[in-house]
Structure 1
Amino acid sequence: MTLRNLRIGFLFNHDCTHQVSHTAPIVSELVRLGQDVTVITSSIEQEAHARRTIGACSDRIKYVRIDISRLSKAINVVARAVVPFRRIANLRENVDLFAGFDALVVPETTSALLKSHFRLDTRLIYFPHGAGDRSIGFRDVTRFFDLVLLPGTKTRDRMLEKRLIRHGHHAVVGYPKFDTVDMATRRRFFDNDRPTVLYNPHFDPVLSSWWDMGMEVLEWFAGQDKYNLIFAPHVMLFRRKMHISVEHRRMRLRRLIPPHLRNLPHIRIDTGSPYSVDMSYTLAADIYLGDASSQIYEWICQPRPCILLNSHGARWQGNPNYAHWNMGQVIDRVADLPHALAVAQEQQRVYAQRQEAAFQATFHTQPPETAAQRAAREIVYFLSQDKSPAA
């Protein structure tokens, strides 16, 4: 197979757009290397986000939008409350399309079903959407991918320890999402000079602080006048009313936010706008308040105070699934939040060095080459070799 004959598909198959920026920047770099690239999306929103991210060379890329059958759509009305049925159906019903590519690049692991259940021979290239510590990011399903591209040595070393990746079938390239962000831009979301706190809970029914602490957090911020609050949870939290964690065997129903919390001048509630996924909030705020989201690693691109909410009584010390909790104060009750906020800047002297070390381990940087350029080069190199597909 010659380089000129490579046909590479980038698949975005999700309910939201938050995964797009993790791999879309690689597209333009592959085009510059003379490769034939097709972007495959499952929604209008994903395609629009991909076009914005890819930019000037979009006219040299083919865009395809996949869909599912009427029967599958009918089943999805009921099944989506329990499983990501539409995503799985999109994979199953479009195998023939995927088979026309030399490789398919994906930012999530559901696509491994193409190998494990749907008998696709096309090479699968996986780039994780995020660089967090949750155990779900280090599962056996990773072994189904032919090539795994990684943001840094932290993720690589943990995957190697668990034997999820093997020599010649992985590469550390950096974090392409950073290539799309102007780190010097800091948007202003409030008409005052109070410190701004970003509350960024995850959606997991066990790990997220939203379920047992979230409303109390919002009420506390509503009743004080020292801080601004941006409430920008993981975009999936308010995408569904019911959340089920297969990993932790827990199901919970999401509560609505009361109207009296929605129109306060010092609180901004955003349950899924582009600002939630393009780092606008992480660059604008002064203090991070969270739990299990990998967004904390984007936060420490500029080391600042972090406060972590331990809502589920985790024994987190020494646990790699909670490595990010070493980068800030960990509190077990909302009653401890006022003090944690008051000493946050002072405590940052303790945590700044940890954050800087964590950032270096999590994200590979090697100027002047970008992460997207390194990823494109590794993809072309891998596909030009005579390597057997993953088992």
Structure 2
Amino acid sequence: MSADSSRDPKRIGFLFNHDELHQVAHIAPIISALQRRAPTERVEIITSSDRQADAVRAFLDPACPLPAFWSISPSGWSRAVEALLGNMVPLNRLSSLKRATPLFRHFDALVVPETTTTFLKKNGQSARPQLIFFPHGAGDRSIGFSPDIKRFDYVLLPGEKTRDRMLAAGVIRSDNHSIVGYPKFEAFGARPPVKLFDNDKPTVLYNPHFDPLLSSWFRFGEQILAYFAQQTDYNLIVAPHVMLFQRKILASVEHRLLRFRKNIDPRYDKLNHIHIDTGSEYSVDMTYTRAADVYLGDVSSQIYEYIQQPRPAIFLNSHDAQWQGNANYDHWNFGPVLDDISGLGTALEAVSPLPASYRKAQSQAFARSFDMDDATPPSERAAHAIAEFLDLP
């Protein structure tokens, strides 16, 4: 298709509107790919913090023109109120969206990695801009198939598993989505594993989620730290979801539950075989999932990034879930599931080397979760899908 010089360039914004950086790598690699795919259009970047802007810049191709950057930082009152409420409600995100709505109306489309942006489609607001969604992760939690997804105009997906569940839930249609792969793998795939400990002992990654119902941290976190502190056979990385330690009170709208989070006893961070990270960039760039020999967790989607290379995994059922046959816990078929910590030592011995049944379950689930195309990177596939949807020359 040749460029139509008679029309104005379309404006496509990549919107990053979250407190933390864990969503950036899911869509940032697409920015330069779209610039190359549609060089006559205006590809721009919208962030709500300087940290986000700096993180996005790291993904940009220096051979492409530098995109325009817009800042939509939240208002002072929303920061104050959110802090007063213990950061339980995402007032900053909503405040940023509301205050920037006039800016957004100048865009033809926004590409986003989270569902808060559907605020722009509620209450009969304008159809402009069109919203394009890429989920930040390929996990199994029910929130990943929320009715809010219906409000998006187009959805980019990592693989057939997410597509099939979204179709079954009625949140996407056969004609408003594309499977494009997983840009985060492209972003960090060439990085070699990092050696974090000065020994050759196997390393366990404990990766609890932040959801106050589903997270194992509130019930088992202290016990897990105490267990690994008193043994000498394993190293331990404690790297929870970055949102767990951003708030003292964790709230779940989905499960209507509040829980207070305790601080970690500083004595554990002084041990040479325990590494604790409550929210650095290494928590979101696959450093720890690549460095670990054993995964210990609950419901985080990082398990799917970990099984890119099948390895031992153990899961903690801290909320008495009836998980067998429940799609929200499909990943609990990748290793033994413990209802308490008493069986942790036995489970660690049982999963190394990885039994064939768990290896098969992990390999099959990974293939369904991520469409891996060696010929075309996910960023280029996503850029092509966006260009086709927006009818870009």
Task: Give the TM interval when normalised to the shorter protein.
Answer: over 0.9
Q: State whether residues 47 and 71 of structure 2, in contact with CA within 8 Å, keep that contact through their aligned partners in structure 1.
A: yes
Structure 1 CA distance for aligned equivalents of residues 18 and 174 of structure 2: 30
Match of 1:179 among 186, 189, 209: 186
Greater fraction helix: 1
Counterpart Cα distance in 2 of 1:285 and 1:183: 17
**Matches of 1:73 and 1:350, distance apart in 2:** 49
Shift of 1:53: 1.8
| 3-state SS of paired residue (1:148) | strand
1:184 shift after superposition? 6.0
Matched, 1:251 2:258: yes
What's the counterpart of residue 267 of structure 2?
260
Pick which of 124-133 and 108-117 moved more: 108-117
Q: Quick check: 1:101 aligned with 2:107?
A: yes
| Structure 1 match to 2:161 | 154
How much has 1:339 moved relative to structure 2? 0.6
Match of 1:302 in 2: 309
Match of 1:8 among 9, 12, 25: 12
User: How far 1:57 moved relative to its partner?
Assistant: 4.6
* 1:27 alignment partner in structure 2: 31
- 2:53 is equivalent to residue 67 of structure 1: no
Question: Following TM superposition, by how much is the alpha carbon of 1:20 offset from its aligned partner in structure 2, in angstroms?
Answer: 0.3
Contact kept, 8 Å, 1:304 with 1:348, in 2: the verdict is: no
Q: CA deviation at 1:350?
A: 2.0
Alignment of 1:55-204 (within 5 A): 55-57=61-63, 59-79=65-85, 81-117=87-123, 119-120=125-126, 121-183=128-190, 185-204=192-211
Opposite residue 202 of structure 2, the aligned amino acid is: P
- Equivalences for 1:368-379 in 2 at 5 Å? 368-379=375-386
Change (3 A) 1:71 1:162: same
Moved more, 112-121 or 248-257: 112-121
Name the CA shift for 1:8/1:316 in 2 (closer, same or farther; >3 Å). same
Q: Alpha carbon RMSD of aligned pairs, Å?
A: 1.6
Structure 1 runs of 4+ with >4 Å offset = 1-4
| Residue number in structure 1 paired with 2:50 | 44
Listed as ranges, the matches of 1:196-345 within 5 Å are 196-345=203-352
Q: Deviations over 1:154-192 (max 9, x none)?
A: 000011011110122111111011111135611100000
8 Å contact 2:86–2:248 — kept in the other structure? no
Higher mean Cα deviation, 3-12 or 332-341? 3-12
**Equivalent position amino acid for 2:35 in 1:** V
Report the Cα distance in structure 2 between the residues aligned to 1:279 and 1:72, rounded to whole angstroms: 32
Residues 324 and 286 of structure 1, relative CA distance in 2, 3 Å threshold: same
1:91 and 1:348 map into 2 onto residues whose CA distance is: 48
Q: Quote the offset at 1:60 in angstroms.
A: 2.2
Q: Which whole-Å CA distance do the structure 1 matches of 2:309 and 2:115 have between them?
A: 29
Count of matched residue positions in the alignment of Structure 1 and Structure 2: 385
Distance in 1 (CA, whole Å) between partners of 2:320 and 2:134 is 32
Q: Distance in 2 between matches of 1:107 and 1:189?
A: 30
Residue 388 of structure 1 corresponds to: none
Whole-angstrom CA distance in 2 between matches of 1:16 and 1:88: 15
- How far does residue 39 in structure 1 lie from its aligned partner after superposition? 0.8
Consecutive unaligned residues of structure 1, counting only runs of 5 or more, are 386-391
| 2:98 counterpart SS class | helix
Runs of 5+ in structure 2 lacking a partner? none
- Displacement of 1:207 after TM fit? 0.5
How far apart, CA to CA, are the structure 2 residues paired with 1:274 and 1:188? 16
The question of whether the paired residues in 2 share the 8 Å contact of 1:183 and 1:283 is answered with no
2:187 partner letter: T
Distance 1:101 1:351, change over 3 A: same
